[in-house]
Chain A
Amino acid sequence: MNFFGFGSGAEIEILLDGADKRKKVEHKISENKSEELSVYYDGETVSGAVSISLKPGGKLEHKGIKIELIGQIEILYDRANQHDFATLTKQLASPGILNQSKVYAFEFPHVEKPYESYFGSNVRLRYSLKVTVGRRLTDLNKELEFVVHTLSTYPDTNTSIKMEVGIEDCLHIEFEYNKQKYHLKDAIIGKIYFLLVRVKIKHMEMHVIKRETTGTGPSVYHDDDTVAKFEIMDGAPVKGESIPIRLFLGGYNLTPSMRDINRKFSVKYFLNLVLIDEEDRRYFKQQEIILWRKGDVPRRQINSAIEESTQRFGA
């Protein structure tokens, strides 16, 4: 970068406090690239240090150094219209000259992070820390993305979904899923009960569909993505048969359901039950389910409890 006196000559690095202890997740940052990013929760303090390292003997004249915490929603077909729902700024240094490498500490106490990070096909919600070194011609920038997870507690009401559907005089089924709201590592337990079968069914599948809705009013755009396909029956059933369902959600790449995030987008999940007959005709029924993120149970507690009891027996 630095030849003929041009270029920056300075390296900016953002280090987060406790980065090595913090939980990390693999998060997509662009279409075909994902990175391990630190996870934060709503209300947590984001702190760390910005280190600016200069080449030996180099110097950097600047018009101020600042760090920003940005939460933004980016809608793809509307790239120009990025929407920042959160921006916090901290001035790290007033205009001056840097003669040597320097480290600035920063802290954003108890930052409100109302939404979950999301990387979809048409919409992205991302949080990042951005350092700007103001200069006369071009500013120096450095961005560090981090991930926000929103946690929920166990829902108050969680009734099962039970419904009788079909085509008159052809196919009547009754299906039941044990809950309406599942956490991300949950298992869907259910059953299909056949009341009338007058079509030649070949097999039955269960699909988990993610529907991303962007925009408002007349310019609403839907994008459906089949996240999971799971065969639950092979062969033709007869009346009175019931087929068990046990679908583990942990194996799929899911996010919590999101509703009207900043009036910009929604992400909904549907269970689609598909019956396929011998002529490849498809009979299906979609049912919305709500996905939520459960806080991790601290595993250490369980382990220590087990250890304690073992020790007692050993003594």
Chain B
Amino acid sequence: MSSDELYTNTNRLDGPRQDLSDAYSLPANFLEIEVSDPVTHGVGWRNRFTDYAIKVQTNLPVFKHKESSVRRRYSDFEWLTSELERDSKIVVPPLPGKALKMQLPFRKDEGLYDDAFIEERRKGLESFINKVAGHPLAQNERCLHMFLQEKDLDKNYIPGKVRTL
């Protein structure tokens, strides 16, 4: 036992005093994405699809709009996944399943357009997009910004990085 254990060690390195405006202002990490309002479009077996509203609210300067709302379908999420996997070097979380079985004819329920299935998929997509959009490296990818904030998805875009101004 050394002599400096004879008293209680209360040493600390003190940081600078926090600025009051920093202490009370809103945190700079706000990002919420909601996947909601599923709507099934089209008629017939081949042309029907469901899309969802993607509502973004954020204060991250990397995003061009503080609030936005676009409509996206499941295949758009698949496109986003493939773009990120190709360019971003991040491990993209898995999408909720493709549900091939649900597309077979002569089912008892409505298959892909069953409410319970759509709700489950909506939840899955919401957690997927929140994970992806919160990732610091993904936030630099142009495809994510296009997916979240531009009305139409231009699949022939030029891949690249987005910079904060």
A residues bordering B, Cβ < 8 Å? 167, 169-171, 176, 178, 185, 187, 189-191, 193, 196-201, 236, 238-242, 244, 246, 248, 277-279, 281, 294, 296-297, 299, 302
- Say yes or no: A169 contacts B22, CB within 8 Å: no
Complex CA–CA separation, A281 to B2 (angstroms): 41
B10: nearest chain-A partner, CB-CB: A246
CB-CB contacts below 8 Å: B13-45 with A: 13-16, 18-19, 22-23, 25, 27-29, 31
CB-CB < 8 A to A248: which residues of B? Answer: 9
> 15 interchain pairs (CB within 8 A)?
A197-B29, A199-B136, A236-B27, A236-B29, A238-B22, A238-B27, A238-B28, A240-B19, A240-B22, A241-B23, A279-B130, A279-B131, A281-B135, A294-B2, A296-B2
Complex CA–CA separation, A124 to B41 (angstroms): 70
With both chains docked as a complex, state the minimum distance between the C-beta of A76 and any C-beta of chain B, in angstroms: 33
- Say yes or no: A277 contacts B15, CB within 8 Å: no
With both chains docked as a complex, state the minimum distance between the C-beta of A10 and any C-beta of chain B, in angstroms: 44
- Say yes or no: A246 contacts B22, CB within 8 Å: no
Complex CA–CA separation, A246 to B10 (angstroms): 9
CB-CB < 8 A to A196: which residues of B? Answer: 28
With both chains docked as a complex, state the minimum distance between the C-beta of A233 and any C-beta of chain B, in angstroms: 13
Complex CA–CA separation, A306 to B2 (angstroms): 14
A-B residue pair count with CB separations less than 8 angstroms: 81
Question: Known contacts A238-B22, A302-B3; is A187 also within 8 Å of B11 by CB?
Answer: yes
- Say yes or no: A198 contacts B23, CB within 8 Å: no
Complex CA–CA separation, A171 to B13 (angstroms): 22
CB-CB < 8 A to B14: which residues of A? Answer: 191, 242
- Say yes or no: A189 contacts B13, CB within 8 Å: yes
Q: Residue B134 at the A interface, CB < 8 A?
A: yes
Q: Which of A171, A189, A277 contacts B134 (CB 8 A)?
A: A277
CB-CB < 8 A to B31: which residues of A? Answer: 200
With both chains docked as a complex, state the minimum distance between the C-beta of A189 and any C-beta of chain B, in angstroms: 5
Contact with A along B70-99 (1 / 0, CB 8 A): 000000000000000000000000000000
With both chains docked as a complex, state the minimum distance between the C-beta of B79 and any C-beta of chain A, in angstroms: 22
Q: Residue B116 at the A interface, CB < 8 A?
A: no
A162: nearest chain-B partner, CB-CB: B13
Q: Residue B107 at the A interface, CB < 8 A?
A: no
Complex CA–CA separation, A244 to B62 (angstroms): 31
- Say yes or no: A242 contacts B11, CB within 8 Å: no
CB-CB < 8 A to B102: which residues of A? Answer: none
- Chain B's interface size range is 20 to 34
Complex CA–CA separation, A16 to B60 (angstroms): 70
B13: nearest chain-A partner, CB-CB: A191
With both chains docked as a complex, state the minimum distance between the C-beta of A186 and any C-beta of chain B, in angstroms: 9
A170: nearest chain-B partner, CB-CB: B136
Complex CA–CA separation, A294 to B12 (angstroms): 22
Question: Known contacts A169-B62, A299-B1; is A246 also within 8 Å of B27 by CB?
Answer: no
A176: nearest chain-B partner, CB-CB: B13
Q: Residue B61 at the A interface, CB < 8 A?
A: yes
- Say yes or no: B28 contacts A198, CB within 8 Å: yes
- Say yes or no: B134 contacts A167, CB within 8 Å: no
CB-CB < 8 A to A198: which residues of B? Answer: 28-29, 60
- Say yes or no: B134 contacts A244, CB within 8 Å: no
- Say yes or no: A199 contacts B134, CB within 8 Å: yes
Complex CA–CA separation, A191 to B29 (angstroms): 22
- Say yes or no: B13 contacts A178, CB within 8 Å: yes
Question: Known contacts A193-B15, A200-B29; is A185 also within 8 Å of B2 by CB?
Answer: yes
With both chains docked as a complex, state the minimum distance between the C-beta of B47 and any C-beta of chain A, in angstroms: 36
Question: Known contacts A199-B134, A200-B134, A240-B22; is A189 also within 8 Å of B12 by CB?
Answer: yes
Q: Which of B5, B23, B131, B164 contacts A240 (CB 8 A)?
A: B23
A200: nearest chain-B partner, CB-CB: B29
Q: A279-B130, A279-B134 are in contact. List 10 more A-B contacts (CB 8 A).
A: A171-B136, A185-B2, A187-B9, A189-B13, A201-B29, A238-B25, A248-B9, A281-B134, A296-B2, A299-B1
